[in-house]
Chain A
């Protein structure tokens, strides 16, 4: 809303078709346009791209990144980063899988109990990881980049120690077949399970105190302090929420890959930041909205899926993603420069 208003102010200066296009880009971002172009190009390149089957496929693929990118967004809005999301996914996967296997051994007939134990363990892992990140940033006042880079290494190490580098097989069948690859009303179960979380993040960021405080902190930490915001508490909450959502995603992903995987999730730090920034989050904090981030996630998923269908190799896909990310950051700076004027 803020951006919309300020760009309307600017629109008096720039006239003509080019000007109004620029204004449109300022208001909604270039993302819808680029996304539309991608859809057309991929559909022309492979007519199975927009088939119902591939659309369901993409919705299944995007769930995990969607959750993590929303967690990442919360931290980005507060003016930080979370580079440990990938490591949290791997740790969650291994620990929750071990928990499920252990419960299965005690109650072989009771899948539900094992799944509940795995779910609870996953959330606990995320909470603890988020708390560690939060303490580093909010209490010890270390730069978020350094804190989460360090904890990423720690969590990764712990994962490998616990798992000894091995997969954890033998998960409950219900977990793997219902949650991992099942459908509810034609939608992937994991997507249905993720939607309430998306709604909660939207509520928290746009209609609750926490969100207001985080935008204020990310925009100017010192002014938030002077306005009586208890900055430490809010930052701690941001990292804990990010960690917990990430762990939830890691748990769903474990069902998808049907075992505890110590090497899971390496792509998430880059991809989640990319999706959030492409969706309008600022790396300087204080900017970004849930709908934008959802769009950013859809874009990255479409890009990956479309390139798969065009048989573009994963090495080239990495290059493409990097280019897209740089483009998004440049756009972000351009937008900031115009807004300040």
Chain B
């Protein structure tokens, strides 16, 4: 399975052979082999916890190898340290950037390798080098700009520029498009294409099939620390890759729930709030209504305004036939509407507290769960056990701190809280961002069940496939305005993208 014919392929810059990494008796990685070759984009696919980060840490010398061999440019490198890796041209751009926000672009770029002249910093040389490196990536920034004022995409490019500065070798990108808009992702793809042409070896971690297809030459798939697949992308189907990743065949990736719309449960009429400039939508019982558009088009703010997190300037919000005059989270939650924010760690979870506490926090407002002010621990415990089972939270330990869970499980905890009380309307904002494929499928199943039970669902998503496949109909926003209301028949990626870019000429790149 591991053996790709090595002949006729370019030289490997870094290789692992039967690499193992143990934490105590737990094998984070076992017998994994891969070669990162010059001029090749190597995709790495696996659920959260499959061992991707461990693999990266072995390639960059952050972790010691507990078994197997490591080669750098053909030479054995059993004791590679991070500084050695950097000297050999192996650099990683991880999801948590290593930039100092209060320093300037140039200072960050040169951190640790400042050009000197007579023992003093040579600012002129540093600026010239920074500007040249950024220009190469098509990013035209003043080197004096403070990093905290840059967008996430710009910060990422700065990280990449820093990684590219020095010996050409290996560039490792960990889910680089996770927080990028469509345009920004395209720019990144072009950069990856160019680096490949320049002979860089690239390891690219991604959950997104379209991206894997668009960029990859070869793909390695990990599951539970084992290598379950290794293919040339031209010779493998998506179904095969997903099956290797989750360990079972997938009949239907996106569930197809029947569209049986009931009465209108949620309605906005000419809603104006912040970037939202007059939006009217309707969501009926028993349907999933998509809300798409580019990042920053105001789709997320529609939900925040409805939920009372963003002050409404004008317009009306109607829930189940009743106008909500003064929306507030507490009020809406008790009336059967729940909003699950995009920023789970920042806005939906108390990371230091337990699964149980996070799931129970909302239901405490329900008089059935307290008696003369005392929390009814037994009832709460039963409810928590029931929700954990329904959602399939993997280590079924209610006392575990939420911060220690994977993205998928964290999402299940938020969903558990949302399901702790009777609900009729759900608003999901980017529900599958940052969760692995297995957890994503679990979420789709839950969504299917909710709709079958007659819930009204507003699904806000930047994932085109998700929007097209899950929604029964979809709205598209552009610069704060609703520009399309697409029934299932005309709901396809091309149309959505065209509307999202605000033009009808299908100029937008839809892949």
Residues of A within 8 A of B (CB): 1-6, 9, 12-13, 15, 203, 207-209, 212-213, 215-216, 219-220, 222-230, 282, 286-287, 339-340
Contacts and interface: CB of A to CB of B under 8 A. Distances in A.
Contacts of A207: 374-375, 377
A198 B476 CA distance: 57
A209 B350 CA distance: 16
A225 B353 contact: no
A283 to B, nearest CB: 13
B330 A2 contact: no
What are the 3 closest A-B residue pairs judged by CB atoms, nearest first?
A219-B350, A228-B333, A228-B330
A249 B444 CA distance: 56
Given A15-B24, A226-B341, A287 B309 contact: no
Interface in B315-366: 329-330, 332-334, 339, 341, 346-354, 357-358, 360-362, 364-365
B339 A209 contact: no
Given A5-B401, A207-B374, A209-B370, A223 B365 contact: no
B309 A220 contact: no
B413 to A, nearest CB: 11
Given A5-B400, A15-B24, A220-B346, 5 more contacts: A212-B361, A220-B347, A223-B347, A227-B333, A340-B403
B361 A286 contact: no
Nearest to B418: A227
Main secondary structure of the interface of A (DSSP, over half): helix
Given A15-B24, A229-B330, A339-B403, A215 B341 contact: no
B164 to A, nearest CB: 31
Contacts of B334: 228
Given A226-B339, A229-B330, A286 B400 contact: no
B23 A13 contact: yes
Interface of B: 23-26, 307, 309, 329-330, 332-334, 339, 341, 346-354, 357-358, 360-362, 364-365, 370, 373-375, 377, 397, 399-401, 403-404, 417
Given A9-B404, A228-B362, A223 B397 contact: no
Contact of B417 (A4, A15, A227): A227
Given A207-B375, A226-B341, A230-B330, A2 B354 contact: yes
Contact of B364 (A209, A220, A225): A209
B361 A229 contact: yes
Contacts of A282: 352
Contacts of A209: 364, 370, 373, 375
Given A5-B397, A207-B374, A223 B350 contact: yes
Contacts of B397: 5
Given A2-B353, A339-B403, A340-B403, A226 B26 contact: no
